[in-house]
Structure 1
Amino acid sequence: MVACNRAIIEQMDSPVALIPQLAAHIVAAGGKRLRPMLTIGCARMCGYSGKRHVQLAACVEFIHTATLLHDDVVDESVLRRGLASANAIFGNKSSVLVGDFLFARAFQLMVGDGSLEVLEILSRAAATIAEGEVLQLTTQNDLSTSEERYLDVIGGKTAALFAAACQVGAIVAGRPANEVAALAAYGDNIGMAFQLVDDALDYSADQMTLGKTVGDDFREGKITLPVLAAYEAGSPVEREFWTRTIEQSEQVDADLEHALMLMGQRGALEATLERARRFALAAQRALEPFPPGELRQCLHDVADFTVSRGA
């Protein structure tokens, strides 16, 4: 990971001073580096001892960071990882364009790796992320969205990159197709669990823990599983509340607190976390084709960490 962080800093360099300045703001803000860590962990578990996985881990982080820059502009976010978001400091135009730069740099790293299979996996993931974000826009403020549709959204916008990050670890190690597929399933399930927990945290965490303003999803009318679960289990009066606040975007200051109360009464957050736990267990089962060892245990523990964030 030290080598990966060094590669990230090197690849952010540009003669246009605003690019490394803005990119450094969001990269230096921290984050868990979970996706590149999974690329490195999966490659090492598969017996790889070269250096390709470090550059590809940096590539994965650039794709992720680019999507964060664009998401914060779309969502008009003012916080990211507990600090002022890049768009709040540098403006929307700069954030979008530097996001484009990071996407372009990611593709340069893919091409530099020289594997068409790696290029296919990561470029497909980048397209799937964009599809997931657009799909989320089409479900916004729509309480008729099915749970299946919601899972399609998070599968695209979040889980796809987790899956790709793990897959390329097996590819660089030259592992057979069944192991590549197993790690894709592992990453996909980790990503689903991760986003479910994030969606629950938006209604249950404090601002410092969450790293963004609590209740952003509610204010933006985003359709997430906590909202769907509370709406589905709600009385007619409760459904009227959700219709007014989410579908009609008519909110007053006290509405977020009321939403939290309704979610608590209907067990919506616990239902969301339980679904996350099921995905985490599926991720752990996907590791069974690999021999026991320290690295497999680390990847197994990542699934537990993912859901423990919501505890």
Structure 2
Amino acid sequence: MSLDTDPSVKPHERLAAFLEGDMIGVNTLIRERMASKHAPRIPEVTAHLVEAGGKRLRPMLTLAAARMLGYEGDNHLRLAATVEFIHTATLLHDDVVDESAQRRGRPTANLLWDNKSSVLVGDYLFARSFQLMTDTGSLDVLRILSNAAATIAEGEVLQLTAAANLATTEDIYIQVVRGKTAALFAAACEVGGVISDAPVEQVTALNTYGDALGIAFQIADDLLDYGGDSGTTGKNIGDDFRERKLTLPVIKAIAKADDKEHAFWTRTIEKGDQQDGDLEQALALIAKHDTMAATRQDALFWTAKAKDAIAALPEHPVREMLSDLAEYVVARIR
């Protein structure tokens, strides 16, 4: 049985197998560019996160888009490494902001070293990412990825103000998600099309696919925080609740809350006064209003939008893998 027909092989694993040769090149570039002659802490901190066993989904999207559209150069490797550096930099910064202790099932860099090291190494990786961008000689690539970097930072700042505010709407939530997750998915796909000299409509379709995939991915991730397996997700169940993050299952529960329930959310999320048993109470309210199912429907909406966008691209084995990937993002939360 081949990887393409084996149902136990997940879509991202099939994609990784197809792109294995390219990913070897990307990983070589990453190791070269995360080196530092004068500051050995930089590769120490970077390696802790880069080599933690992540799926490398974002750089694979760049490689997949380029391969699907017939690109034959090597700039897709540089851009995939760029995307991974931007992603890693944002994770280092996020863990400091969120005061996180665990990432991908391992202690975070800020816990093993310190906040200063995490922030400064993140800054170094951002700088490295811009060096890689300019190596391609494409102003369009520089525009797309620099815009994405700005959008990511903007989304993180918006989340700071929206996270514990019970007035946060679903529209604001999607805006935050577009910044913190979907912007890099969209840019990763789009630049693969740009360096392939694809027609504008195909580049636009790749952007739409990445944006919708990123939103579905983040909604599913937020669902897993309240109903996933920490051994699988690498997160502790209820981390978002403890960190007072207003994600979609809670936003929907607040919209349906009576006065007593609203007071509970005000105390635990807005004021941060959390006591023993509060997580269980939050889960009970989410179950009462069935907001997990409603949130999953939203994720399915974005999955369908991603599949529609990718269907407009040329027939290719990678296109089917990307379509299956969009489905899998939500299927993992069944």
Q: TM-score, normalised by structure 2?
A: 0.91
Write the letter of the residue equivalent to 2:28: R
How far, CA to CA, are the matches of 1:6 and 1:265 in structure 2? 50
Identity value in percent: 55
* Separation of aligned partners in 1, 2:24 and 2:326: 23
Q: Pick from 29, 48, 58 the counterpart of residue 25 of structure 1.
A: 48
- 2:19 alignment partner in structure 1: none
CA distance in 1: counterparts of 2:226 and 2:276, whole angstroms: 15
Partner of 2:31: 9
Structure 2 CA distance, aligned partners of 1:108 and 1:85? 26
Query: How many positions carry a matched residue from both structures?
Result: 311
Q: Over aligned residue pairs, what C-alpha RMSD do you find?
A: 1.0
* Shift in Å, 1:170: 0.3
SS of 1:203's equivalent in the other structure is helix
- How far the C-alpha of 1:146 sits from its partner, in A, is 1.2
Identify which of 155, 159, 173 aligns with 1:150: 173
State the match for 1:69 in structure 2. Answer: 92
1:211-226 to structure 2, matched below 5 A, reads: 211-226=234-249
Question: What's the offset of the Cα at 1:206?
Answer: 2.5
Tell me, in whole angstroms, the C-alpha distance in 1 between the residues paired with 2:276 and 2:24. Answer: 45
* Residues in 2 aligned to 1:51 and 1:152: alpha-carbon distance in whole angstroms: 34
| Separation in 2, partners of 1:182, 1:46 | 12
Q: Is the 8 A contact 2:254 2:262 kept in 1?
A: yes
Q: 1:166 aligns with which of 181, 189, 195?
A: 189
| Structure 2 partner of 1:127 | 150
Structure 1 segment 37-52 matched on structure 2, within 5 A: 37-52=60-75
* 1:246 and 2:296 aligned: no
Indicate the residue corresponding to 1:79 in structure 2.
Answer: 102
Alignment deviations for residues 97-147 of structure 1 (CA, whole Å, 9 cap, x no partner): 000000000000001111000000000000000000000001121111111
| Residues 131-176 of structure 1 deviation map (CA, whole Å, 9 limit, x = unaligned) | 0000000112111111111111101111000000000000110001
> Structure 2: which 5+ runs fail to align?
1-22
Q: Tell me, in whole angstroms, the C-alpha distance in 2 between the residues paired with 1:195 and 1:62.
A: 19
Instruction: Report if aligned partners of 2:69, 2:314 keep a CA contact under 8 Å in 1.
Output: no
Shift of 1:291: 2.5
User: What is residue 13 of structure 2 aligned with on the other side?
Assistant: none
Contact (CA 8 Å) 2:223, 2:249: kept in 1 or not?
Answer: yes
Q: Which residue of 2 aligns with 1:265?
A: 288
Alignment partner of 1:302 is 2:325: yes
Contact in 1 for aligned 2:173/2:248 (Cα 8 Å): yes
Query: What SS does structure 2 have at the residue aligned with 1:287?
Result: helix
Residue 90 of structure 1: which of 109, 113, 116 is its match? Answer: 113
TM alignment of 1:158-237, pairs within 5 A:
158-237=181-260
Matches of 2:202 and 2:273, distance apart in 1: 50
Please give the alpha-carbon distance, in whole angstroms, between the structure 2 residues aligned to 1:272 and 1:145. Answer: 16
4+ residue runs over 2 A deviation: none
Between 221-230 and 285-294, the greater mean CA deviation after superposition: 285-294
Inter-partner Cα distance in structure 1 for 2:136 and 2:312:
27
Partners of 2:234 and 2:276 in 1: CA distance: 21
Question: What's the TM-score, normalizing by structure 1?
Answer: 0.98
Amino acid at match of 1:75: D
